[in-house]
Amino acid sequence: MNIYVGNLPYDFTEEDLKEMFDQFGEVASVKIVFDKVSGESKGFGFIEMEQKSEGKDAIQVLDQSAVRGRNVKVHAARPRNGRQQRNRSKRAGNGTRGEDVEVSSEQSQGHKKEDVAVG
């Protein structure tokens, strides 16, 4: 079971995170997410638990628990392919050379497709 852990202290290590979940069962993998530019923690990570039942137990006990003065958020991770893609066509320098670019209604935060023109 893949578990999201958010609101982590920025100095929290992957070993710290593993220790937090070891008490519930076998941890298959640990990943804290770091900023690519600064190299600093983004304050969240992921745990993969071998057994789904152990993962559910960990979520139930650890969600909103205090860790170094911060209440961590712990829940089942959502699949990556379920994320909505960011619309990069609205940004300057995207190769459109000033032409109008239509943005679909899904990506324009509630605007109708014909209402949004960028350029």
CATH assignment of the domain containing 12: 3.30.70.330
Structural domain includes residue 17: yes
Structural domain includes residue 66: yes
Identify the pLDDT of residue 81.
Answer: 74
Number of domains in the chain: 1
Q: Can you give the pLDDT of all 119 residues of the chain as single tens digits?
A: 999 999 999 999 999 999 999 999 999 999 999 999 999 999 999 999 999 999 999 999 999 999 999 999 999 999 877 555 555 544 544 444 444 444 444 444 444 434 444 44
Structural domain includes residue 19: yes
Structural domain includes residue 84: no
Identify the pLDDT of residue 114.
Answer: 42
The Cβ-side half-sphere exposure at 90, using a 13 Å CA radius, reads 11
Expressed as residue numbers, the domain containing 27 is: 2-78
**How would you class 20 by CB atoms within 10 Å of its CB: exposed for 0-12, middle for 13-18, buried for 19 or more?**
buried
**Rounded Cα–Cα distance for residues 116 and 37 (Å):** 32
Identify the pLDDT of residue 79.
Answer: 86
Q: What's the whole-model pTM score?
A: 0.67
Structural domain includes residue 108: no
Structural domain includes residue 53: yes
**Rounded Cα–Cα distance for residues 51 and 71 (Å):** 25
Structural domain includes residue 18: yes
Contact between 28 and 49 under an 8 Å Cβ cutoff? The reply is yes
Structural domain includes residue 83: no
